[in-house]
Structure 1
Amino acid sequence: MPDQIHYPSEDTDFEAIVISFSRKYSLVDKVFTDIHNGLEVLPINEEDLEPIRDVCTLLLLEYGKDTPDEHMLKLGLHMLLHIRLRMTARKAAVPENDSSFKLFVAFSNLIDRYFIEYKSVEEYAVKLNITSGYLNDIVKGLCGRSPKTLILERILTEAKRLLYFENLSVKEIAFHLHFNEVSYFNTKRIS
């Protein structure tokens, strides 16, 4: 999100890569927000550092071209997301090929794709051919947050993005996000 501040601990050596993108690339902002799967910052171990550096090097090379390929940049950002998901799976002691983890990733991808159209956990559960209770158990088990919270946070992130980057009123944003009543959009809570 815009205006985030990162302040490193003074007593720790570290290496950081900061990726910032303009409004043009805001469609992939979810990759770099803390709302993605409700996960905290994870330290990077040596196993993950090399692929992250490689992907960042490719992103920098592509971005430095006279006419960078937007598709290549988005692919690089998505590669970083998947490295992040691997790290999360290891931290949670869940193998990447675990069916729960695969459903969790599928759910996250569905949120990215359908958050404007689908607002309920039940709609996502139907898409995944599982019950909403089972989806709730999987998501809470892997990230400690409810599926509803993740959906609402994604909607909130998009609303913030539209407020920040677009010249739209709250009413127009509510309409864009498929809320029939502005008052309902204004009172939506993340619990």
Structure 2
Amino acid sequence: MITLGDLSTDPSWRRPVLVPADHLVLVTGGHGTLEVDFQPLACRPGSLLRIRPGQAVRRVDPLDAHVVRWAAGSLHGLDLPPDPVPTLTQLNGEDEEAVVTEVSQLVVDYRRYGRGSPAGERLLRHQLAVLLLRLALTATPPATGTEIRTFRRLCQEVERHYRRTRRVEDYADRLGCSVRTLTRACLAVTGRSAKQVVDERVALQARRLLAATDEPIAGIGRHLGFPEPTNFGRFFSREAGLSPGAFRATGGRVAPARIPRPRPPHWTDRA
């Protein structure tokens, strides 16, 4: 168990932090804004945030919160469904009472048993699993249908391969369908073409790295599949509305020019 302050070594949060693990953040005090992937989220007591590895997080206003963090593989072997919890949920009523109770008990048991006790570690794993199951039950049921399933499959492939290819044809080949099928699915779910969905994922990673790291801009471009810095600059300017250098100079505080609603799973709230 940690606090929001533990996420950043900079108490002023001048730039976002790329979180390396899964997190649940339950706001217990204060009213203000927390940014996740450059989107400002209004928080108050009872706000629950689901933050996934690799996302960029910045605290804008002072907030008190319980933060539950777990490493990849911590829940291995437990029968858990796919995680449908959105980035932000405002808990109310019985749901809020139940989640607050379970998170509070996790905090207490972590302090009592969380260090060096195999039995305590098993207890915490199962408590976390119960909490995630409860959140899955309270989350809005996902949409169904052929197009949403196709869209999710595309997003999973994009997450695996966006650094190597931005060609929709490559993803269509991997999924065994046509470019037209992918585009139709993306338009139905997001209002954007398949090419736009792919490019938005690449641009999001570029924003994360520009705002949260000191890696050279040319190196970020190469990491994302742009051997030539000029090509990366043109791509980013088209997606974000300003150059990589200008975006970095703002510390990522300038909202991107285009924000997909809703966003794809793993880098967004669609699951």
Q: For the superposition of Structure 1 and Structure 2, which TM-score range results when normalised by the shorter chain?
A: 0.5 to 0.7
- State the SS of the aligned residue for 1:7: strand
User: 2:181 matched to 1:134?
Assistant: yes
Name the aligned partner's letter for residue 217 of structure 2: V
User: 2:52 matched to 1:17?
Assistant: no
Partner residue in 1 for 2:41: 6
User: 2:165 matched to 1:103?
Assistant: no
State the TM-score, normalizing by the size of structure 1: 0.60
State the TM-score, normalizing by the size of structure 2: 0.44
Once the two structures are TM-superposed, the CA of residue 88 in structure 1 deviates from its matched residue by 4.4
Moved over 3 A (4+): 1-4, 40-46, 64-68, 78-88
Which has a greater percent of helix? 1
Once the two structures are TM-superposed, the CA of residue 57 in structure 1 deviates from its matched residue by 4.4
Distance 1:19 1:82, change over 3 A: closer
Unaligned 5+ segments in structure 1 are: 31-39, 90-94
CA contact (8 A) 2:168 2:195 kept: yes
Which has a greater percent of strand? 2
Map 1:28-107; keep pairs closer than 5 Å.
29=55, 53=99, 57=103, 65-66=114-115, 87-89=141-143, 95=144, 98-107=145-154
- State the SS of the aligned residue for 1:179: coil
Once the two structures are TM-superposed, the CA of residue 143 in structure 1 deviates from its matched residue by 2.0
Identity %: 21
Question: 113, 120, 129: which is aligned to 2:160?
Answer: 113
Q: Which has the higher contact order (CA 8 A, sep 6+)?
A: 1
Once the two structures are TM-superposed, the CA of residue 7 in structure 1 deviates from its matched residue by 3.1
Once the two structures are TM-superposed, the CA of residue 115 in structure 1 deviates from its matched residue by 0.7
Once the two structures are TM-superposed, the CA of residue 113 in structure 1 deviates from its matched residue by 0.8
- In structure 1, C-alpha distance between the alignment counterparts of 2:192 and 2:205, rounded to whole Å: 19
State the aligned residue count: 154
- State the SS of the aligned residue for 1:119: coil
CA contact (8 A) 2:49 2:87 kept: no
Once the two structures are TM-superposed, the CA of residue 3 in structure 1 deviates from its matched residue by 5.6
Once the two structures are TM-superposed, the CA of residue 150 in structure 1 deviates from its matched residue by 1.4
Name the aligned partner's letter for residue 143 of structure 1: T
- In structure 1, C-alpha distance between the alignment counterparts of 2:234 and 2:138, rounded to whole Å: 33
Distance 1:80 1:126, change over 3 A: farther
Partner residue in 2 for 1:144: 191
